[in-house]
A = this chain, B = another copy of it.
């Protein structure tokens, strides 16, 4: 059995070989950067949110991202269509409840979408904590209730499923100064989910890839401006062995 660091390298190779299509219904602030991150990684993004079209795009895709930033009526309807088609086609979809901690309307909508069993829910600690009813430390019960994996990203990323939990220790503070970096993380996780059976491992591997490339880019440019082009270049160029060597993952022993 491989360590998860080796799995990350293998999945990265598969993404570059198979170029999975990832359909993203995401917020207008994040669309361009998300598309460039997926292209740099080797995946093929599409972004329409028109309800009449989204079914055709999702049918021919391999993974889906539903990001709740900048909602509008069209996006809300398209989200429902995309999830229906993803479910019918057996495609994994990732939920990103952006700023759910700042909007009661968004919290209610997120609760409805959670009933549809997203493969992974990725957010920061404030967003994910707003979703939990109970006050327990971890997300095991939440993951069990909703049949999902949670990925709480920040200085350390905490990934959890009903039966497993681990930490990703890669990344750099400058990543919090770039808009849509979290949204792009969710899209990358969707790309990894598209090429792997195990959603917990896919989430970890996606976040390891982002974190390692972020570290490498910040070593070149730690200001938020020049960091971004350097980060995209690292995503496009990183070798499996380099990813595996730089990845810092710790499995947590569940209580």
Contacts and interface: CB of A to CB of B under 8 A. Distances in A.
A236 B56 contact: no
A148 B44 CA distance: 30
A170 B235 CA distance: 26
A94 to B, nearest CB: 19
A250 to B, nearest CB: 29
A173 to B, nearest CB: 11
State the copy count for this chain.
3
Given A102-B60, A225-B236, A237-B223, A179 B35 contact: yes
Given A50-B71, A69-B48, A179-B39, A223 B228 contact: no
Contact of A103 (B56, B224, B234, B236): B56
A39 B105 contact: no
B228 A229 contact: yes
A22 interface: no
Interface stretch (A4-12, A25-33, A133-141, A240-248): A25-33
